């Protein structure tokens, strides 16, 4: 596998990448970064979860000139959420080089965007509708743009953005470099690529292999309030040597690690707000088995390579199938078996089904364990320790005391008392875990006959025809005389 040091990047970029926990490049990154840095156009067929944001973001930051106050690169993306997410990741990668990325999207106050543009970002991450607004206002000038990225092009096609994209590409200097990424390649996207890309290199990368050998996969349907007690009972039953618990947010990780400590488990948390020294300390203790349970966010867990992990607990269901595979791949390594358990709330069952569909594997359902079953798990651990002590003959110095006790108490009562004394009973200390909203599954894609259905929730609504949902007051110009006369009549009525 290629590392980021193999690409000859600016040392400030590799430092930022290392801080983010990335070590090895993903397949899409290994193929895209050298090609993009060389200045070639490319088409990348890759799904979310393959690392494509860094694949196109690193070359943009490598090429950026911080002495130049003009906008040098533009990334067009289908949704405002994705625009924010990409800008955040690029700002982390560009932090030491001083490269700034700014998200621009509909629904946000335009005056706020104008103020942000005065900070002279080198990279704009935008939804097509709002980017065209700025083009019309001449608040974003295109003459210095040398690189354009079209991210999730097929999704932008589904949402009706292709005409806007073509308009934008016609205005951006022809000398630019263009990178197009799409999970699928419908004919309209192929036509777009043929029209606007110059001799592109085609890169195809599938998501991570969706079958994970040597890992038993289970899920438990449980309410949000029951999750923590269920986790503790499973830890008591499984008695893992080393376990990772995945939480969705930094707050979740902090609360879980503190609550586990209160219940008597040796646990520590790790997330993006920890400084490098603290992060290194936690990982070292986990590798040395000084701590038994590591609680982590997805981002913080990147780069952690610990071979002895026996159990992975998805306290919060992961965002997508790729994240799920990445998480559970922390166990079952080097030919050893592992167990992955996911806690799923009733409202997240559809999300579970989408993971099963993408991984092409049925995940076994188990019931929430009882208090008695948790005690039984600890008893089993105590019995194993007793038998191990007998096998290694580490009890000889205690034989006289045992013989004296047996004169007073029957052997069964004596062993039962020893088991009770040595067995760790489940701890019920009250803890506070803040509830998290359940994940929502993406619904069916945009259907022009049905008007889009559930897919356009949270979308860049400024793209709707006629500007009906425009939040900045800028509607699309009328397309024909009939539309003009309709608008005029409507205005007169008002």
Question: What pLDDT digit, counting tens, does each position of 400-459 carry?
Answer: 888 888 888 888 888 888 888 877 777 778 888 898 887 765 544 434 344 443 333 344
Asked if 176 and 236 sit in the same domain, the reply is no
d(CA 1, CA 40): 23
- Per residue in 108-123, pLDDT tens? 888 889 999 999 999 9
Q: What is the pTM of this model?
A: 0.51
Query: In this structure, is residue 300 part of a structural domain?
Result: yes
- Mean pLDDT score, 352-375: 86
Q: What are phi and psi of 374, to 5 degrees?
A: -65, -45
295 vs 324: which has the higher pLDDT: 295
d(CA 131, CA 474): 12
- Name the H helices within 172-275: 187-196, 227-238, 250-262
d(CA 73, CA 441): 32
Report the percentage of the chain scoring pLDDT > 70.
84
Asked if 157 and 179 sit in the same domain, the reply is yes
∠ at Cα 111 (105, 113), nearest 5°?
40
155 vs 253: which has the higher pLDDT: 253
Domain range holding 353?
215-365
Q: What are phi and psi of 463, to 5 degrees?
A: -85, -15
Distances from the Cα of 313 to the Cα of 252, 291, 344, 412, 464, angstroms: 14, 16, 11, 37, 42
Asked if 327 and 473 sit in the same domain, the reply is no
Asked if 37 and 152 sit in the same domain, the reply is yes
Query: In this structure, is residue 411 part of a structural domain?
Result: no
Query: In this structure, is residue 159 part of a structural domain?
Result: yes
Q: Within 13 Å of residue 385, how many CA atoms lie on the same side as its CB?
A: 12
* Strand, coil or helix: 6: helix
94: domain CATH number is: 3.40.50.300
- Name the H helices within 183-226: 187-196
474 vs 3: which has the higher pLDDT: 3
Give 11's pLDDT tier (boundaries 50, 70, 90): very high
Asked if 150 and 197 sit in the same domain, the reply is yes
Q: How many domains does the chain have?
A: 3
Least confident of 4-8, 45-49, 486-490: 486-490
Q: What is the pLDDT of residue 456?
A: 37
- Mean pLDDT score, 14-29: 87
* Strand, coil or helix: 102: strand
Asked if 9 and 130 sit in the same domain, the reply is yes
Asked if 125 and 240 sit in the same domain, the reply is no
Asked if 195 and 239 sit in the same domain, the reply is no
Number of H helices, E strands in the chain: 19, 14
- Mean pLDDT score, 96-119: 91
Q: What mean pLDDT value characterizes the chain?
A: 83
Query: In this structure, is residue 383 part of a structural domain?
Result: no
Residue burial 53-92, b: 16+ Cβ < 10 Å; e: rest: bbbbbbbbbbbbeeeeeebbbbbbbbbbebbeebbebbbb
d(CA 116, CA 101): 10
Query: In this structure, is residue 420 part of a structural domain?
Result: no
Asked if 161 and 263 sit in the same domain, the reply is no
Q: Which two tokens stand for residue 91?
A: 């700002």
d(CA 491, CA 487): 6
| The pairing of beta strand 73-76 with beta strand 147-150 | parallel
Query: In this structure, is residue 431 part of a structural domain?
Result: no
Query: In this structure, is residue 448 part of a structural domain?
Result: no
Asked if 177 and 200 sit in the same domain, the reply is yes
d(CA 238, CA 355): 24
């Amino acid at each position: 596998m290629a590392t980021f040091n193999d690409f000859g990047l600016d040392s400030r970029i590799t430092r930022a990448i290392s801080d983010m926990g990335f070590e090895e490049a993903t397949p899409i990154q290994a193929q895209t970064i050298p090609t993009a840095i060389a200045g070639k156009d490319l088409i990348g067929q890759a799904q979310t979860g393959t690392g494509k944001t860094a694949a196109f973001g690193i070359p943009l930051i490598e090429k950026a000139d911080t002495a130049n106050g003009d906008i040098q690169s533009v990334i067009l993306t289908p949704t405002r959420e994705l625009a924010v997410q990409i800008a955040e990741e690029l700002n982390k990668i560009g932090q030491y080089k001083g490269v700034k990325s700014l998200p621009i999207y509909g629904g946000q106050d335009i005056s706020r965007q104008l103020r942000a543009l005065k900070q002279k970002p080198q990279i704009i991450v935008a939804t097509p509708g709002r980017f065209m607004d700025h083009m019309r206002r001449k608040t974003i000038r295109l003459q210095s743009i040398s690189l354009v990225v079209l991210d999730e092009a097929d999704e932008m096609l589904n949402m009706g953005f292709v005409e806007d994209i073509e308009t934008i590409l016609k205005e951006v200097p022809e000398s630019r470099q263009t990178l197009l990424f799409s999970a699928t390649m419908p004919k309209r996207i192929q036509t777009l690529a043929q029209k606007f890309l110059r001799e592109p290199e085609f890169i195809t990368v599938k998501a991570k292999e969706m079958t994970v050998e040597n890992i038993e996969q289970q899920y438990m349907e449980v309410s949000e309030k029951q999750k923590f007690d269920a986790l503790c009972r499973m830890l008591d039953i499984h008695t893992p040597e080393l376990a990772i618990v995945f939480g969705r947010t930094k707050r979740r990780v902090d609360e879980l690690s503190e609550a586990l400590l209160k219940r008597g488990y040796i646990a520590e948390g790790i997330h993006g707000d920890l400084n490098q020294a603290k992060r290194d300390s936690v990982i070292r203790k986990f590798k040395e088995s000084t701590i038994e349970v590591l609680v982590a966010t997805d981002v913080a867990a990147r780069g952690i390579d610990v071979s002895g992990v026996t159990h992975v607990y998805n306290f919060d269901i992961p965002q997508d199938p790729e994240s799920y595979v990445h998480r559970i791949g922390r166990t079952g390594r080097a030919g050893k078996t592992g167990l992955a358990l996911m806690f799923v709330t009733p409202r997240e069952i559809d999300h579970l089904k989408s993971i099963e569909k993408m991984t092409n594997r049925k995940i076994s359902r188990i019931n929430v364990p009882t208090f008695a079953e948790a005690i039984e798990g600890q008893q089993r651990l105590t019995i194993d320790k007793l038998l191990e002590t007998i096998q290694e003959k580490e009890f000889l110095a205690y034989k006289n005391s045992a013989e004296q006790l047996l004169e007073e108490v029957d052997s069964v009562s004596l062993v039962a008392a020893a088991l009770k004394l040595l067995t760790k009973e489940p701890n019920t200390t009250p803890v506070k875990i803040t509830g998290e909203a359940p994940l929502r599954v993406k619904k069916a894609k945009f259907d022009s006959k049905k008007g889009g259905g559930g897919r356009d929730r949270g979308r860049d609504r400024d793209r709707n025809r006629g500007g009906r949902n425009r939040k900045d007051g800028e509607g699309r110009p009328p397309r024909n005389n009939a539309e003009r006369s309709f608008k005029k009549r409507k205005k007169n009525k008002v």
